[in-house]
């Protein structure tokens, strides 16, 4: 694979596994680690807290990892970031702090069990609940890994019908679970069905497979997918240690075949919540032509309290990177209002004061000055043709999901 990057990406294939098996995503899926013994075999020794999690394991989120992803961790270090993302821990069972089954209030915004319409012009389509690795911090634990797999015919058809009948929907985001755990032919059927709907402009595929099973991104997959462009691929790298040779090859294959690739990371306490790590990850991704898109603050999903950072901690990371790191590499820090209020941006405070006439700023490296506003009557609208105005009116008036959600949210028990 011909990619050029100043960074070195290494493969961590264990010597006893043949390259053919290693590179075969079906082999990876057939050899996943699920049980305590599988993990002991790989990691040598588990900590007491990890063992206890396996022993108590009722109520615990599903456990599974690919051999590939396990190999990325330093197996002797319990604090290894990859290990923390894949290994169950006793702390998941402590019921403290804010714990929500459905932190994004998705059920309230659902059209049916598989379709979430939270924002006017785009829908989230949960095409499968399966993943190859179950991330311990998953925000959609209420749904993910419950083994119902590919969406049944009736909610699938109903979802398509809803999308077809709502012409204001321009974008469909395939999510889950992980859509790339579906077979190539199954996924093709979904893409075909969506492309038969003329008003769908963009398809997004949200997947962690390039991180946890990058061999899934093979020639067969990209040749199939590129028939249904424009498709954006949203990856989910959280730590520079996840950028192996295999991952770099998968990303290169995607970009070479015309898929814009964007990364959405989650800040995880004790795993990646440091500006040095975010900058390393972002620069390596950018060198592979992947745009760091969102940096999410961890949602209060059940059993994730130990992964949550404070708003102050997240904002400090964003502020440290601001201006220092290329804007191309800088992800936007974003948080979902618990209970389903939607995403909000968290931006460091640069504006010191604001009045009608001016705003005073202090920039990222300390320079202070004011921006003087023109007189209000001098701020005018540009010429707008009917076409642009109509498009905008349609977006503004587009209904979405449960429009009473805001009222429900107000009544929601909040801290
Ligand atoms: C995050 C999210 C989206 C996509 O939001 P963007 O800001 O466009 O990336 C769409 N639907 C739901 C329900 C979401 O949570
Ligand atoms: S891949 Fe995504 S949906 Fe699946 S367990 Fe991880 S965070 Fe959850």
Q: pLDDT tens, 355-371?
A: 999 999 999 999 999 99
Q: How far apart are CA 193 and CA 164, in angstroms?
A: 10
User: Are residues 392 and 371 part of one domain?
Assistant: no
Q: How would you label 284-293 residue by residue, b for 16+ Cβ within 10 Å and e otherwise?
A: bbbbbbbbbb
Residues 68/31, Cβ–Cβ less than 8 Å: no
Query: Which of the residues 135, 141, 284, 400 is marked catalytic?
Result: 135
Q: pLDDT exceeding 90 applies to what percent of the chain?
A: 83
pTM, to two decimals: 0.95
- 323: which 2 tokens? 């201006």
User: Are residues 49 and 148 part of one domain?
Assistant: no
For the CA of 207, the closest atom of ligand 2 is 1
pLDDT tens per residue, range 145-204: 887 777 788 899 999 999 999 999 999 999 999 999 999 999 999 999 999 999 999 999
CA of residue 244 relative to chain centroid, distance: 19
User: Are residues 272 and 167 part of one domain?
Assistant: yes
User: Are residues 220 and 336 part of one domain?
Assistant: yes
The number of folded domains in the chain is: 4
User: Are residues 331 and 355 part of one domain?
Assistant: no
Q: What does the pLDDT average to over 379-406?
A: 88
Answer yes or no: is the C-beta of 136 below 6 A from any ligand 2 atom. Answer: no
Does residue 357 form part of some domain? Answer: yes
Does residue 12 form part of some domain? Answer: no
Task: Choose one of 63, 129, 137, 138 to mutate for the ligand 2 pocket test, by most ligand atoms within 8 angstroms of C-beta.
Answer: 138
Does residue 13 form part of some domain? Answer: no
138 among known catalytic residues: yes
User: Are residues 159 and 45 part of one domain?
Assistant: no
User: Are residues 306 and 210 part of one domain?
Assistant: yes
User: Are residues 128 and 265 part of one domain?
Assistant: yes
* End-to-end alpha carbon distance in the chain: 51
Handedness of CA 243, 247, 249, 253 (dihedral sign): negative
pLDDT reported for residue 408: 52
pLDDT reported for residue 403: 64
Q: Would you call 282 helix, strand, or coil by DSSP?
A: helix
Does residue 3 form part of some domain? Answer: no
CA of 178 to the centre of ligand 1 (A): 16
114 among known catalytic residues: no
Q: CATH number of the domain that 134 lies in?
A: 3.20.20.70
Does residue 101 form part of some domain? Answer: no
Domain range enclosing 76: 19-93
pLDDT tens per residue, range 62-105: 999 999 999 999 989 999 999 999 999 999 988 777 888 899 88
CA of 124 to the centre of ligand 1 (A): 7
User: Are residues 216 and 181 part of one domain?
Assistant: yes
User: Are residues 357 and 331 part of one domain?
Assistant: no
User: Are residues 196 and 119 part of one domain?
Assistant: yes
- The region that residue 97 occupies, defined by phi over 0 for left and psi between -120 and 50 for alpha, beta otherwise, is left
What crossing angle do the helices spanning 153-165 and 184-195 adopt, rounded to 10°?
Answer: 30
């Amino acid at each position: 694979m011909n990619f050029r990057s100043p960074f070195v990406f290494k493969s961590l294939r264990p010597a006893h596994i043949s390259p053919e098996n290693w590179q075969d995503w079906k082999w990876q899926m057939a050899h996943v680690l699920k049980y305590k013994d599988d993990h002991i075999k790989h990691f040598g020794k588990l900590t007491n807290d990890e063992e206890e999690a396996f022993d108590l394991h009722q109520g615990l989120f599903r456990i599974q990892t690919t051999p590939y992803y396990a190999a990325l961790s330093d197996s002797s270090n319990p604090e290894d970031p990859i290990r923390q993302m894949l290994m169950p821990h006793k702390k998941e069972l402590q019921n403290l702090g804010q714990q929500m089954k459905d932190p994004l209030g998705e059920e309230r915004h659902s059209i049916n069990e598989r379709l979430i319409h939270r924002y006017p012009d785009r829908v989230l389509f949960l095409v499968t609940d399966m993943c190859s690795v179950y991330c311990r911090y998953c925000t959609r634990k209420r749904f993910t890994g419950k083994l119902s797999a590919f969406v049944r015919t009736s909610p699938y058809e109903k979802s398509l019908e809803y999308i077809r009948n709502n012409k204001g929907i321009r974008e469909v985001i395939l999510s889950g679970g992980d859509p790339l755990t579906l077979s190539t032919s199954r996924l093709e059927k979904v893409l075909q069905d969506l492309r038969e709907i003329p008003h769908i402009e963009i398809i997004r595929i949200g997947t962690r497979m390039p991180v946890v099973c990058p061999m899934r991104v093979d020639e067969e997959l990209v040749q199939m997918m590129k028939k249904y462009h424009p498709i954006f691929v949203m990856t989910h790298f959280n730590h520079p240690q996840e950028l192996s040779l295999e991952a770099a090859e998968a990303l290169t294959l995607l970009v070479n075949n015309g898929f814009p690739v964007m990364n959405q990371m989650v800040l995880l306490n004790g795993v990646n919540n440091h500006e040095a790590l975010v900058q390393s990850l972002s620069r390596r991704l950018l060198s592979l032509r992947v745009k760091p898109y969102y940096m999410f603050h961890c949602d209060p999903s059940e059993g994730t309290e130990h992964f949550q950072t404070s708003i102050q901690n997240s904002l400090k990371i964003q502020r440290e990177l601001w201006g220092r790191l290329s804007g191309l590499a800088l992800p936007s820090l974003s948080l979902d209002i618990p209970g389903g209020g939607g995403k909000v941006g968290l931006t460091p405070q640069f504006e010191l004061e604001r009045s009608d006439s001016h705003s005073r700023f202090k920039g990222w490296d300390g320079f202070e000055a004011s921006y003087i506003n023109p007189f209000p009557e001098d701020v005018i609208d540009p010429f707008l043709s009917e076409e642009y105005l109509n498009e905008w009116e349609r977006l503004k008036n587009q209904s979405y999901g449960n429009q009473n959600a805001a009222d429900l949210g107000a009544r929601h028990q909040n801290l």
